[in-house]
C-alpha cells in the first residue's frame, strides 16, 4: 500500500503511546485519521493537538473489549469519511501478576478482552468493509515481542494468540485473492505508559492479582522510559505498510531470543530463558 495521501486510518489506543506515534506518522503522510481510545480526556487533548497542527482527524470514544463500541467506531468512521483503508488494532493492557496461577479471572477477562477480543472486534467490524471496497487496504495488529517468546504469562498469552490470528488472516486474504493486507507489530520496550494502564481498568474487573514479589514499579518505569520512541514505531509501521511486510520487528536485540525459542521447539527441548537485553 504505497499511495497513502487522503486515505483513512483508524487507530485504537490512539491517545498516547504507540497509537499516538502511529497517528503522527500517518498524519505526516497525508492521511485522515480516526483516533479511538477509552480514556476520554487524553483522547480529546491529543485530537486537539493534532488538529492545531493542521491534521484532519476525528475522535471516537470506545472500549474495544465491547463489540458494540467497535461497531459504533466503524459506523462513525464511515459516516465521517465514507471509507476505511487502514485499521490499527493497537489498544492493549498489561496485568503483571506472576506466577500465572495467581492471576485472577478478572485479570484474564480484562487482558484477553482488550488485547485479543478487541482485535477480533476490529476485524469483525472493519475487514468486511475493506474487502467490499475492493481497494488497497491494510490492517496492523499490535502484538509484542512477548508474543514470540517464552515467559510472558497472561500478557504473553494474549499476544501469542494475536500473532497466530494475524498469520491466519494473512493466509486467508492472500489465498482468497482479496486486496487488504495485514501486519503484526511485535515491539520490545517502547516509551509508553502501559505500566499505568490500571487507571483505565473497568470496575467490573476489580479483582486484581498481586504484582510479582520484589518487582519495582519505579525500575520498570525507568526501563520503559529508555525504550524506543513511539513515533519511531509509527514510522516503522508506515514503512511496513508500504512494503506489504507482515512481521514488524522494531528491536533487533531480541533476534537471539527468537532464534533460541525456535531452536528449542525444533529440537524438542524444554523451554529455557535467555537474559533480557540490557539485563
Instruction: Tell me: pLDDT of 279 over 70.
Output: no
Query: How far, in Å, are 53, 186, 244 from residue 18 at the CA level?
Result: 19, 12, 20
Active-site residue among 108, 155, 205, 224?
A: 155
* Contact partners, residue 146, CB within 8 Å, separation at least 6: 152, 155, 156, 159, 160
Q: What is the pTM of this model?
A: 0.96
Answer yes or no: 247 catalytic. no
Residue carrying the nine cell digits 467490524: 125
Neighbour count for residue 221 (Cβ, 10 Å): 13
Say what the pLDDT of residue 2 is.
84
- Per the DSSP assignment, residues forming a β-bridge with 37 are 61
In the chain, % of residues over pLDDT 70: 99
Query: How far, in Å, are 110, 138, 219, 243 from residue 208 at the CA level?
Result: 10, 36, 21, 41
Local confidence band at 226 (pLDDT 50, 70, 90 cut-offs): confident
CA distance 248 to 142: 9
The full set of domain ranges for the chain reads: 8-254
CATH 3.40.50.300 fits domain 8-254: no
CA distance 132 to 74: 14
Local confidence band at 55 (pLDDT 50, 70, 90 cut-offs): very high
Q: Where are the alpha helices (DSSP H) in 12-150?
A: 17-28, 40-52, 67-81, 105-115, 117-133
Amino acid at each position: 500500500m504505497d499511495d497513502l495521501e487522503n486515505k483513512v486510518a483508524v487507530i485504537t489506543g490512539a491517545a498516547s503511546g504507540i497509537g499516538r506515534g502511529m497517528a503522527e506518522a500517518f498524519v505526516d503522510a497525508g492521511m485522515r485519521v480516526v483516533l479511538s481510545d477509552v480514556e476520554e480526556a487524553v483522547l480529546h487533548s491529543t485530537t486537539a493537538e493534532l488538529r492545531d497542527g493542521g491534521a484532519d482527524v476525528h475522535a471516537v470514544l470506545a472500549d474495544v473489549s465491547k463489540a458494540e463500541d467497535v461497531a459504533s467506531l466503524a459506523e462513525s468512521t464511515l459516516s465521517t469519511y465514507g471509507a476505511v483503508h487502514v485499521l490499527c488494532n493497537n489498544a492493549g493492557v498489561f496485568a503483571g501478576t506472576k506466577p500465572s496461577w495467581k492471576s485472577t479471572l478478572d485479570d484474564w477477562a480484562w487482558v484477553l478482552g482488550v488485547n485479543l477480543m478487541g482485535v477480533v472486534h476490529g476485524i469483525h467490524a472493519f475487514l468486511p468493509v475493506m474487502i467490499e471496497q475492493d481497494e488497497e487496504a491494510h490492517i496492523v495488529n499490535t502484538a509484542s515481542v512477548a508474543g514470540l517468546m517464552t515467559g510472558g504469562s497472561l500478557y504473553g498469552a494474549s499476544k501469542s494468540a494475536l500473532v497466530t490470528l494475524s498469520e491466519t488472516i494473512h493466509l486467508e486474504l492472500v489465498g482468497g485473492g482479496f486486496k487488504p493486507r495485514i501486519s503484526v507489530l511485535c515491539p520490545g520496550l517502547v516509551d509508553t505508559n502501559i505500566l499505568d494502564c490500571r487507571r483505565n481498568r473497568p470496575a467490573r474487573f476489580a479483582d486484581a492479582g498481586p504484582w510479582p514479589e520484589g518487582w519495582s514499579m519505579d525500575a520498570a518505569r525507568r526501563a520503559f522510559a529508555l525504550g524506543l520512541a513511539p513515533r519511531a514505531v509509527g514510522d516503522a509501521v508506515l514503512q511496513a505498510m508500504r512494503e506489504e511486510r507482515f512481521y514488524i520487528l522494531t528491536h533487533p536485540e531480541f533476534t537471539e531470543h527468537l532464534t533460541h525459542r525456535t531452536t528449542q521447539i525444533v529440537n524438542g527441548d524444554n523451554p529455557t530463558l535467555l537474559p533480557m537485553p540490557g539485563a
